[in-house]
Structure 1
Amino acid sequence: MNDHDLPPEVIEKYSTPRGEIQLQRRGQYFEIISNGTFLMATYNGESEKLLISEPLKRSDHPSHILIGGLGVGFSLQEALKDPRVEQVTVLEIEETIIQWNRTLLSAVSEESSFHPKSNIIHADCLVWLAEHDDKFDLICLDIDNGPDWNVYATNESLYSDYGLSLLARHLQPDGYLSFWSATSSPEFVDRLKCHFQLVDILYVPQDRGEPDVIFLTKGPITQ
């Protein structure tokens, strides 16, 4: 039996304004569960890293990056590997996840949350974006499970025309915006094409179930 098949051991569990969130372990791996739904784990971070590495590869000057969703720290860790990056701002709505990254999960991402280039903010992504005017070279979002499968109904607006317009306003003219998703979404791709000049779709095969999907866009369409 490998670690994935071991029964989960609940390490910590908390109630939040969005429901119950828990950290559990299977052997050497950790999983984060929200309202009984799997969110993320430490045993496979390929797609979370691709969310960052692909736009980094295409960008000429990725000095300031915005990451929506801290998760287990894989995306932040990947961003900090690039010496061109000067600052990584991370928006995370769950204070508990921030604390786990600084304690129980710190080794998973090589203590990326303590890096001097990391700026982790406890905030709702859409609310923060609506209240600030910062521009970013890369915006990389790993919030909920994607456009068509939301654990939290309030996250649906992130993938709406309103959310995309707001994100476009914070993106540099030649900047890249990427989304992580647990499923494909032709309707979301069509919506992206209304707001951005280029849209690519990347697939990351998984051992079980559908491949993870990265929606990658470049350059907001000026209205």
Structure 2
Amino acid sequence: MSLLFEEIDSQASPLGEISLRRRRIPALGDRDIYEVKLGDEFLMSSMFVAAEEALSTLGLAATQGDELSVVVGGLGLGYTAVAALQDQRINELLIVDALSTVIEWHQAEQVPLGKILNADSRSRYIHGSFFDLATAPLTGFDPHCDGKKFDAILLDIDHSPTEFLNPANAGFYCTEKLAMMAEQLKANGVFAMWSQNLPEQSFEALLKTVFASVESHVVSFYNPFQNREATNSVYVCIKGDV
């Protein structure tokens, strides 16, 4: 094992081998960079988190009221969840992930943000498929309260609305399934979603079949490997008052 690279953990998962790695790149300064890989595919790096954080800040900026109940779909390295907890209006945060390994990394504080999430009594890990829970409104996301409604649902699992982490996720992106998820939002509740691509007009049109308001935001950040600005997107949708 090089001092510049360490594989912290690697385990089998229903989607394939998932691994957590830590590396240092001297040219980029004196800091640890954490990465998650699924097989040979990079899922996330702590180098690029601006859009994951913006998913929370943009989504929660559209919410109304105090004592918010919020769902984050997809734990990753914890950046969306930690950004959400910076909003003092949050009363409870349910963090849903289908991979128990990812939850265990945070519980064991093998990733830096695990310590923050574990110490905040407002946050709770939910092991389960976001897509299964989202499309079961009678039971819903909270195993302790069937049919509970939320102020916001923040989703960061698939690469985009047309590029899926798991091919089985594709069926979620339709009016029927999105409407089932929207049943779990309060009046004027917010659904926000991250995408690695620029906004897609076809997906915006689909979202408008369910939500009263749909806005797309482009989030720019510097990519030192390519020496240029890169972009991701965040879709922010408001259910309406019924």
TM over 0.5: yes
Deviates more, 1:7-16 or 1:211-220: 7-16
- The CA distance in 1 between the partners of 2:122 and 2:109, in whole Å, is 21
- Quote the residue 1:3 is aligned against: none
SS of structure 1 residue aligned to 2:44: strand
Give yes or no for the alignment of 1:90 onto 2:104: no
SS of structure 2 residue aligned to 1:86: strand
- Quote the residue 1:124 is aligned against: 129
Structure 2 alignment gaps of length 5 or more: 25-31, 141-146
Residue pairs, 1:72-151, within 5 angstroms: 72-108=77-113, 110-129=115-134, 130=136, 131-132=139-140, 133-151=147-165
TM-score by length of 1: 0.89
- Quote the residue 2:27 is aligned against: none
Does the Cα contact within 8 Å between 1:196 and 1:221 map onto a contact in 2? no
SS of structure 1 residue aligned to 2:75: coil
**Rg larger in structure:** 2
- The CA distance in 2 between the partners of 1:85 and 1:59, in whole Å, is 11
- The CA distance in 2 between the partners of 1:65 and 1:31, in whole Å, is 26
Deviates more, 1:21-30 or 1:207-216: 207-216
% identity of equivalent residues: 26
SS of structure 2 residue aligned to 1:19: coil
Does the Cα contact within 8 Å between 1:77 and 1:109 map onto a contact in 2? no
- Select which of 134, 138, 153 maps to 2:167: 153
Deviates more, 1:30-39 or 1:134-143: 30-39
Structure 1 consecutive aligned stretches of length 4 or more whose deviation exceeds 3 Å? 6-9
Offset of 1:108 from its aligned partner?
A: 3.1
Could you tell me which amino acid in structure 1 is paired with residue 88 of structure 2? P
- Quote the residue 2:233 is aligned against: 213
- The CA distance in 1 between the partners of 2:241 and 2:50, in whole Å, is 30
- Quote the residue 1:180 is aligned against: 194
- Select which of 198, 201, 206 maps to 2:216: 201
- The CA distance in 2 between the partners of 1:23 and 1:174, in whole Å, is 38
TM-score by length of 2: 0.82
Q: How many residues align?
A: 217
Give yes or no for the alignment of 1:24 onto 2:26: no
Could you tell me which amino acid in structure 2 is paired with residue 154 of structure 1? A
RMSD: 2.1
Structure 1 alignment gaps of length 5 or more: 1-5
Does the Cα contact within 8 Å between 1:195 and 1:220 map onto a contact in 2? no
- The CA distance in 1 between the partners of 2:216 and 2:71, in whole Å, is 20
Instruction: Call closer, same or farther: CA 1:8–1:180 in 2, change over 3 Å.
Output: farther
